[in-house]
Amino acid sequence: MPWWGWLIVGLLLLGSELLIVDAAFYLVFVGAAAVLTGLLVMAGLATEYWVQWLLFAIFAIATMIVFRRRFYEKLRGGGAEYQDGMAGEIIQLKEPLDPGASCRLSYRGTPWTVINRGSVQIAAGLDVKIERTDGLSIIVTGNS
């Protein structure tokens, strides 16, 4: 393939990953491998077709193995300190809550049903840690 063909294919792959398809950065590194192969062909270092395809395959695989995970996590990472849900947060009950009983509580601007799954009563005004949520119910234990 001529050098300009490699560059066109590489730029199309790069552009499609960045503008059209979310392929988890695989097309970025395949496109970069095609561009790098095109530059080597342009410099006259890879004139045989089989050498070009071999270089392209080596570059694509090597860059994906070495760099893909780092770049993907850096650019689109999941946030190391992001907590999904409310588990572990502290709420303060306005009324006492017996074991197995429930009450209503407004939290984050939404009315919730708070359920005590513990074995002891939770006194009014006590700070309690949220164990988990189940639909629109907050599950707490009086043991915490």
Alpha helix segments (H runs only) across 20-142: 26-42, 49-63, 69-76
Between strands 110-116 and 127-134, the pairing is: unpaired
User: Model's pTM, two decimal places?
Assistant: 0.52
Between CA 141 and CA 116 the distance in angstroms is 5
Residue 30's alpha-carbon distances to 9, 74, 102, 121, in angstroms, are 10, 19, 56, 61
In order of start, what are the domains of the chain with their CATH numbers?
Answer: 3-76 (no CATH), 90-140 (2.40.50.140)
State the greatest distance between any 2 C-alpha atoms of the chain, in Å, as a whole number. 81
Residue 143: pLDDT band (50, 70, 90) is low
Mean pLDDT of 43-54: 92
User: Does residue 82 have a pLDDT over 80?
Assistant: no
| pLDDT for 132 | 87
Map 8-47 to HEC letters: HHHHHHHHHHHHCCCCCCHHHHHHHHHHHHHHHHHCCCCC
